[in-house]
């Protein structure tokens, strides 16, 4: 098994990729697996913030003395072999794969950022909705469950002055092991028609509902 061509390409490849693309020089790395039946060169990104992610693998057929990559063909449903005749073809293949990977990573980051901003905006809108509405509280906070120095759950009922909708506010108070108090509030709005349906549904399924002691 002659690996002379493989070793020659490996020795030149790193410097060639760094010089052809500054972004690869900043982010790209390569590792050589020489002992496999078909030796290969793996290309990846690696940083303290992100685990190693591979974006390209170049394989070497020692019997035919040729480099190749494997490409999946969706229409055919199987992988195909693309032969790379010289080092320039190898550099082009790695360079293209790197930029495809970077573009996909950028798009994914933008999607996550948009989803996060949307989620934050949605939460802010919900908070403003409850805070800005004029609610007349018809009851004080009524404790529904209490376990000393651990948890307290209370409810308060009110009516929206402008629409007449009912509002049910649930407040959770949790004491941590350090005796810090954590407070969480959620509010639920509903009409008179919804109220009667909710009451009927809960009343008819009381036997199926577990107690707070079970969750604890």
pLDDT at 111: 45
Which residue, 34, 45, 27, is CA-closest to 10? 34
Report the pLDDT value the prediction gives residue 50, as an integer from 0 to 100. Answer: 65
Rounded to a whole number of angstroms, the CA Rg of the chain reads 31
CB 83 within 8 A of CB 58: no
CATH (residue range 135-215): 3.10.450.700
pLDDT per residue of the chain (216 residues) written in tens, 0 to 9: 568 888 888 888 877 777 767 777 677 888 898 888 899 999 888 766 667 788 889 999 988 889 998 876 656 556 778 899 888 899 888 888 887 887 765 544 444 454 555 555 455 444 445 556 788 888 888 888 888 778 889 999 999 888 898 989 888 888 887 777 888 888 888 888 888 888 878 887 777 777 766 555
Predicted confidence at residue 128, as pLDDT, reads 42
CATH 3.30.505 range(s) for the chain read: 4-120
pLDDT at residue 95, as a whole number: 84
- Reply yes or no on domain 4-120 having CATH 3.30.70: no
Full-prediction pTM beyond 0.85?
Answer: no
Q: Which long-range contacts (CB under 8 A, 24 or more apart) does 35-40 make?
A: 38/62, 39/3, 39/6
pLDDT for the residue 101: 80
pLDDT at 49: 63
Q: What is the pLDDT of residue 120?
A: 52
What pLDDT sits at residue 83?
92
> Where is 50: in which H helix or E strand?
none
**Cα dihedral 187/192/195/200 (nearest 10):** 180
**b/e string for 23-61 if b means 16 or more Cβ within 10 A?**
ebeebbebeeeeeeeebbbbbbbeeeeeeeeebbebbbe
CA distance linking residue 156 with residue 161, whole number of Å: 16
* φ/ψ (deg, to 5) at 172: -105, 130
Q: In 3D, which of 5, 14, 72, 11 has the Cα closest to residue 43?
A: 14
């Amino acid at each position: 098994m002659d690996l002379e061509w493989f070793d020659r390409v490996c020795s030149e490849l790193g410097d060639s990729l760094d010089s052809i693309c500054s972004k690869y020089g900043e982010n790209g790395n390569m590792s050589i697996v020489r002992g496999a039946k078909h030796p290969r060169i793996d290309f990846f990104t690696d940083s303290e913030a992100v685990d190693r992610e591979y974006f390209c693998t170049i394989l070497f057929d020692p019997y035919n003395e040729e480099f190749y990559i494997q490409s999946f063909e969706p229409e055919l449903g199987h992988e195909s072999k693309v032969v790379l005749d010289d080092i320039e073809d190898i550099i082009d293949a790695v360079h293209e794969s790197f930029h495809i990977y970077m573009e996909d990573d950028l798009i994914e980051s933008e999607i996550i950022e948009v989803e996060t901003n949307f989620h934050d905006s949605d939460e802010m809108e919900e908070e403003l909705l409850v805070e800005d509405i004029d609610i007349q509280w018809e009851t004080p906070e009524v404790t529904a469950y209490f376990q000393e120095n651990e948890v307290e759950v209370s409810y308060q009922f009110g009516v929206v002055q402008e629409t007449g909708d009912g509002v049910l506010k649930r407040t959770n108070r949790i004491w941590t092991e350090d005796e810090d108090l954590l407070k969480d509030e959620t509010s639920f709005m509903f009409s008179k028609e919804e109220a009667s349906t909710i009451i009927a549904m809960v009343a008819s399924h009381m036997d199926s509902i577990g107690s707070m002691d079970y969750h604890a």
